[in-house]
Chains A and B, each alone.
Chain A
Amino acid sequence: MPSLLQDYPRLPHRFDEMRLDDDGVRPQWAPFVDRLELLPSDTLQRRARYVRESIEADGVTYNVYEDPKGVKRPWELDLLPLIVDPVQWETLSDALAQRAHLLNLILADLYGPQTLIADGLIPPALIFGQLGYKWPCRGIRPPGGIYLHHYAADLARAPDGEWWVLGDRTQGPSGTGYTLQNRIILSRTFPDAFRDLKVQTLASFFRASQEGMSRLAPTDGEAPLAVLLTPGPFNETYFEHAFLARYLGFPLVEGQDLTVRDDTVYLKTLRGLRRVHAIYRRLDDDFCDPLELRSDSALGVPGLLQAVRAGRVLMANALGSGVLETGALLGFLPAIAERLLGEPLKLPAVASWWCGEEPALEYVLSHLDELVIKPTFPSMRMETVFGYQLKGDSRTRMIERIRAQPHAYVAQEWVRLSQAPVWSRRHERRIVPRSVGLRMFAAATPDGYTVMPGALTRVSPREGDEVVSMQRGGLSKDTWVRTTGPVPDTTMLKTRLGVIDLVCSGTEIPSRVGENLFWMGRYAERCEGSARVLRAALTRVSDTDPEALATLPGVERAARNMGLIEPPEEDEPEKDTETLLLAAVSDPRHSGSLASCLYRLSGAASQVRERLSSDNWRALNRLSQLLTGPVDDVEQALLAVDQVMQSCIALAGFAMDDMTRDEGWGFLIVGRRLERLAIQATLLAGVLRASRNMRRRSLEWLLETGNSIVTYRARYRRAPELLPVLHLLAFDVTNPHSVAFQLDNLRRYLQRNSRELGQSRPLQLDALSETLRGFDLTRFEADSCDEACEELADLLFQCEAASYQVSDELQRQYFAHTGLTARMGGWQ
């Protein structure tokens, strides 16, 4: 069997992470490489496939903007870990902790007395000249004096074997979640090697970080509630946000899930407002509060800064911490370390020059070939440029740009990145060298910074590439730090769940989830109801039988009452019924059309996708693909309407039979019932108000749209008559399409919701239900029953109105929480 190392080239002028100059490998790699050599080639192939499949099964993705392959791309993890020398790691991690501490002190100074600037240790342009410095945050002293809770540094190893910092991440560093995910997969891929090599585990780092936030948060004696604030599913690292939230046990929230009252941050849950004590922020500070920061941000929490100013919530990281991400600061840190710590900076950065200083500018322009040019501020849109790649015109243009605005550029020494072995998918048993860089992480605790004993290793996508960046489509590696001591046996992931873990429903269902389920219920029901009415109308409009045609005006009126047919504009020529009906089916510009309703249904459903089974989601997906274009004739329209109805019926089945009956589900059902109540009441009331003739002609389609024609025939075996039709569609509590059934069910579900969620219950429906129950049906036996019809129509209109009132009230009480003011009481 040929050795794995046989074809692995040793590149000149590069440090190789695994290989020594002669034929051997570095000592920390030896046991791992020995094992690999013993494994048959198909075993390694199988394990590589296992890694890929695990990524897919766990749904690990990294969203890449403007990626032609689609927004979500699978995360890429190499089969081989990067193995680090434990002694060198010790030094590195001690130095990283010092650096984190130093950066925290710098933040405290910049957002406090600004003596570093006054004393000439930091050029004012680097701070005052960037949008990253948040003036509204100056003077805010965070809990425990800690601004920087989560810190990451990007490092590269030079040919001499030393690690250098390339950049600091202080806004809301990404990567810890991916690192953890890499570890979970790789430790399962090589369980024996992982154990025998005594690789340090990561759990203690996360626990320390989690406890750090909880212990520092201002809790006023309450049990601390921390949340993870994400920009939402479109963010590139959303997977990581969701993963970390689950792992740390923090609710994953978007800005709209939080609200500030009385300078205090609350999470809106179905059970009411719950105070939030700490916010693990993965949303850039600029977007966090539209009132005081970027006013066009729709992702933030209005008033958040005021709550922070009042010291009522911990932000991790503090708002404004992104100011340190400027690469121009690197060159000033050694002197600042001497000043603030009285000791030398232990972790050096790669040599860098801020062009805003005259001598630096001249140096940079005369040494371009050895340098890398970067923008001074992360807010500038510019890719890193390698000086040696600049030729001819582009070189001249770059020099002009730098001379015109020297303060906007930083130059760094070009570090030839070290190489590490990567498993090649294309060749059997082959490993190839690729450039690698490390992202290391530190977290604040009340006792100082703790450094993750592991890291995210990023790998350049192609041989000879100099940039390692996930945004550019790179690969990642797990990073193994060996220890000579015992490996602590802590894990935050339970290997096996016990009875205590058997939670039946989430207690902290964010209001947003309940709200979207509620609207999903309402829109699904509206789609179904609309489809039924349209089908009744479309089958009649093309009928040649005069008897059938005579029933059309009644249906058309019903469609108007439901808003399916647009009210004619003034001066507009009257359109024929067929045209109006086709528009009611498929015109997306008309907000009452079936197509518009489907569109809203998909919108609400996509917000709660993670709560729907895959079959349920597929049914919704099919539904959203219907009616995306216009329908040309009645036949096409009928076909489409039928398809919509079939899908809607499937959805109703999923709602009753496929979802766990938690608090969110309760709102889905209430949404469905409220909408059906409104529709059924509108249809019946419309008919009751019509002339006696039209009333008679409407009974048939009423039964059709109420999906009760089969029941009627089975019960009465004769043509539809007013009394039995009304009984079936309005009064019969056993018919799931009747008004009485909706009222009964709503009362029950609303009662259940209010009991479970500890809220008062909307009462409008109770009286209506009683009145309906007491309605004297014998009054419809008379030949002339106009008065009874009128009275019942009134009652039904009240039902319709009540359904909208209840909807508004639920909206306020459970979702928007604006109705709570009085109950929370005592503020002025």
Chain B
Amino acid sequence: MSFVRYHIRHDTRYEYDQPVGESRQMLRLTPRELPWQHCLSHRLAVDPQPTRSNDFVDDFGNKVRTLHLQRDHDALVIRAESWVEVTPREWPELNKGLNWERVRSTLAYQAGKRFPPELLEANRFLFESRHVRVKREFAEYAHDCFPEGEAMLVGVERLMNRIFDEFTFDPEATTVSTPVTEVFEKRRGVCQDFAHFMLSCLRSIGLAGRYMSGYLLTRPPAGKPRLIGADATHAWVAVYCPESGWIDFDPTNNVKPDMEHITLGWGRDFADVSPLRGVLLGGGSHDPEIKVTVVPEGEFDEVYAEVEDAPAWLPGLSPEPEDD
């Protein structure tokens, strides 16, 4: 069986104008266990040391760590490091599956209809949420991709293609609070906007779609070395398919995620799975400096060769979650 192993370092650094006396943070930085993804090791380091921290699993199944800092600090540094093993997924044949109308009616409510657990779960991802809208204009946009009787997954792939073709990746065009309707008008945005827009289209025609949060292996420009901190967090979508479960699609890159996507977690939209979320008392807030580095096992030595605070090498094969 083939597999790929990655080391992921995700650094977040907040610097404050004035000392912060109290701070609370919620981190969703722990990779999920999946049939095709296994977390070999994971550690979270926080500086300064929090007064209290707590772990729990949210209702979408994501691991959450909460931090409470109660002493003056001028900066907050959070480092998440994971070794993750990814194996190939089983892909259903797109054109063999149920047609999209069937999927829609399978998900839809009728008086007295019972939902088995899987369908009940899929129903969470069928409606509007804070960043995803259900509107006629989105349904109309999706319409051409879903002709009558089309296999659902074929339609979803076509929708992904269309978004990739018609939307421009542009980090300047949007912020985290740009509504999806504006993303649609501008046809511009980043991975998060692409994902929210695709989810809006899917839910507007009655299909269930969830927001996936994670990382993507990037390729350095030809002839250039892989740089530390050159990557970013990534977002894509998964669509519910009654025969095969949840199938991932990445509209930002027009690919069906496989061995190069690493999943942190999922929710209805960004608001449910934001990797970091916090509240400060005092101090001026600034956008944090975020550095993500995804390194395949084979390049690890090369990338971290000259680095002072290089991460630990793969700790055997058994997962031993360590905490600071």
By beta carbon, the residue of chain A nearest B72 is A818
Cα-based distance from A131 to B51 in the complex (angstroms): 33
Judged by a CB distance under 8 angstroms, whether B114 is at the interface is yes
Q: Is the CB of A821 within 8 A of B127?
A: no
Do residues B24 and A120 form an inter-chain contact, with CB atoms below 8 A? no
Cβ of A464 under 8 Å from chain B:
no
How far in angstroms is the closest Cβ of chain A from B149? 21
Contact of B113 among A120, A129, A261, A828 (CB under 8 A): A120
Asked whether B59 lies within 8 Å of A135 as measured between CB atoms, the reply is yes
**Cβ–Cβ contact B130 & A124, under 8 A:** no
Q: Which residues of A contact B110 (CB under 8 A)?
A: 120, 357
Q: What is the CB-to-nearest-CB distance from B116 to chain A, in angstroms, rounded to a whole number?
A: 8
Smallest CB gap from B51: residue in A: A827
Known: A357-B111, A821-B51. A124 touches B26 (CB 8 A): no
Expressed in whole angstroms, the Cα–Cα distance for A79 and B141 within the complex equals 60
A660 and B117 alpha carbons, distance in the complex (Å): 64
CB within 8 Å of A: which B50-92 residues? 51-52, 54, 56, 58-60, 66, 68, 70-71
Tell me if A590 is interfacial: C-beta within 8 Å of chain B. Answer: no
Q: Mark B114-137, 1 if CB is under 8 A from A, else 0.
A: 111100100110111010001010
Which residues in window 21-69 of B have CB below 8 A to A? 21-22, 24, 26, 51-52, 54, 56, 58-60, 66, 68
Of the candidate stretches B10-18, B161-169, B275-283, B307-315, the one touching chain A is B275-283
Check if B109 sits within 8 Å of A118, measured CB to CB.
no
Asked if B127 and A292 make an inter-chain contact with CB atoms under 8 angstroms apart, the answer reads: no
How far, in Å, is A785 (CB) from chain B's closest CB? 41
Contact between chains at B114 and A306 (CB < 8 Å): no
Interface string of B99-114 (1 = CB under 8 A from A): 0000000000111111
Q: Which residues of A contact B113 (CB under 8 A)?
A: 120
- B272 close to A (CB within 8 Å): yes
Residue of chain A at shortest CB distance from B26: A291
Contact between A123 and B21 (Cβ–Cβ < 8 Å)? no
In the complex, chain A residues whose CB is within 8 Å of the CB of B127: 124-125, 128-129
Prevailing SS type, chain A contact patch: loop
Closest B residue to A256 by beta carbon equals: B281
| B52 contact set on A, CB distance < 8 A | 262, 827-828
Is A302 an interface position by the 8 A CB rule? yes
**Taking A128-B127, A131-B130 as contacts, is the C-beta distance between A118 and B115 under 8 angstroms?**
yes
Q: Does A303 contact B (CB under 8 A)?
A: yes
- Give the contacting residue for A816; candidates B21, B111, B272; CB below 8 A: B21
Contact between B22 and A818, CB atoms less than 8 A apart: yes
A119 at the interface (CB under 8 A from B): yes
Q: How large is the interface on B (under 10, 10 to 19, 20 to 34, 35 or more residues)?
A: 35 or more
Please report the C-alpha to C-alpha distance between residue A261 and residue B34 in the assembled complex, in whole angstroms: 35
Write the nearest CB–CB distance from A30 to chain B, whole angstroms.
Answer: 48
Are A124 and B281 in contact, with the CB atoms below 8 A?
Answer: no
The residue from A125, A128, A135 contacting B60, defined by CB atoms under 8 A apart:
A135
Q: Is the CB of A135 within 8 A of B114?
A: no
A719 sits at the interface (CB 8 A)? no
Chain A residues with CB under 8 A of B109: 120, 123-125, 356-357
Q: Would A818 and B21 count as touching, CB distance under 8 A?
A: yes
Roughly how many angstroms separate A322 CA and B70 CA in the complex, as a whole number?
32
Bound form: Cα–Cα A818–B282 in Å: 11
Q: Is A378 an interface residue (CB 8 A)?
A: no
Partner of B279, one of A128, A131, A135, A290: A290
- Closest chain B CB from A178 CB (angstroms): 34
Closest Cβ of chain B: how far from A670's Cβ, in Å? 21
Whether B68 and A303, one on each chain, are in contact in the complex, defined by CB atoms closer than 8 angstroms, is yes
> What's the Cα separation between A585 and B279 when bound, in Å?
38
CB–CB B128/A129 < 8 A: yes
Find B124's partner among A128, A302, A405, A816 (CB 8 Å cutoff).
A128
Task: Report whether B114 and A295 are in contact in the complex, using a CB–CB cutoff of 8 Å.
Answer: no
Query: Known contacts being A302-B279, A303-B68, A821-B51, is A124 close to B111, with CB within 8 Å?
Result: no
The 7 closest A-B pairs by CB, nearest first: A129-B127, A124-B123, A302-B279, A123-B109, A120-B113, A818-B21, A138-B59
Known: A118-B115, A120-B110, A135-B60. 14 other contacts (CB 8 A): A124-B126, A135-B59, A136-B59, A139-B59, A261-B68, A291-B26, A295-B279, A306-B54, A357-B110, A821-B51, A821-B71, A827-B52, A828-B51, A828-B52
List residues of B whose CB falls within 8 A of some A CB. Answer: 21-22, 24, 26, 51-52, 54, 56, 58-60, 66, 68, 70-71, 109-117, 120, 123-124, 126-128, 130, 134, 136, 268, 272, 277-279, 281
21 contacts between A and B (CB under 8 A): A118-B116, A119-B114, A120-B111, A120-B114, A120-B115, A124-B120, A128-B124, A129-B126, A135-B58, A135-B59, A135-B60, A135-B272, A290-B279, A291-B24, A291-B277, A309-B56, A357-B110, A405-B136, A812-B21, A816-B21, A828-B51
